[in-house]
Amino acid sequence: DVKVTQSSRYLVKRTGEKVFLECVQDMDHENMFWYRQDPGLGLRLIYFSYDVKMKEKGDIPEGYSVSREKKERFSLILESASTNQTSMYLCASSSYRALHFGNGTRLTVT
């Protein structure tokens, strides 16, 4: 069974802080993704990566960056957290069959 692990379930940060959200998958998948989930807005793609050290912007990359130094790990970085980045963040990796999501990190920026 595919396992996608996000390091934190809940996170509270202050405005202006640099925030790191970590994600690890154990299935040797090449493709990894970061989505943001907000009520009424669904799942929106922030960034994705199809190989180590490769990254591509999704639909809402502003205010975010990513890092993929190892195949199994994909990090989302908020350079200077703002209150409008309060959200649920979902990491995923993909097989041919499906996207496999982590449990999510609920980030609150105060």
Partner 1 sequence: GENVEQHPSTLSVQEGDSAVIKCTYSDSASNYFPWYKQELGKRPQLIIDIRSNVGEKKDQRIAVTLNKTAKHFSLHITETQPEDSAVYFCAASRGSGGGADGLTFGKGTHLIIQP
**Site for partner 1, rule CB under 8 A:** 31, 33, 35, 40-45, 48, 50, 56, 58-59, 90, 92-99, 101-104
Task: Tell me whether residue 17 or residue 51 sits nearer to partner 1 (CB atom).
Answer: 51
Q: Minimal distance in Å, beta carbon 75 to partner 1?
A: 17
The amino acid present at 16, given as its one-letter code, is G
Q: Minimal distance in Å, beta carbon 2 to partner 1?
A: 11
Task: Tell me whether residue 3 or residue 14 sits nearer to partner 1 (CB atom).
Answer: 3
d(CA 86, CA 68) in angstroms, rounded, equals 23
d(CA 74, CA 32) in angstroms, rounded, equals 7
Task: Tell me whether residue 81 or residue 91 sits nearer to partner 1 (CB atom).
Answer: 91
d(CA 41, CA 26) in angstroms, rounded, equals 29
Written as six digits, the tokens of 91 are 């990491």
Task: Tell me whether residue 46 or residue 81 sits nearer to partner 1 (CB atom).
Answer: 46
If we measure between CA atoms, which residue out of 87, 31, 78, 38 comes closest to residue 56? 31
Q: Minimal distance in Å, beta carbon 110 to partner 1?
A: 23
If we measure between CA atoms, which residue out of 3, 70, 78 comes closest to residue 34? 78
Q: Minimal distance in Å, beta carbon 79 to partner 1?
A: 22
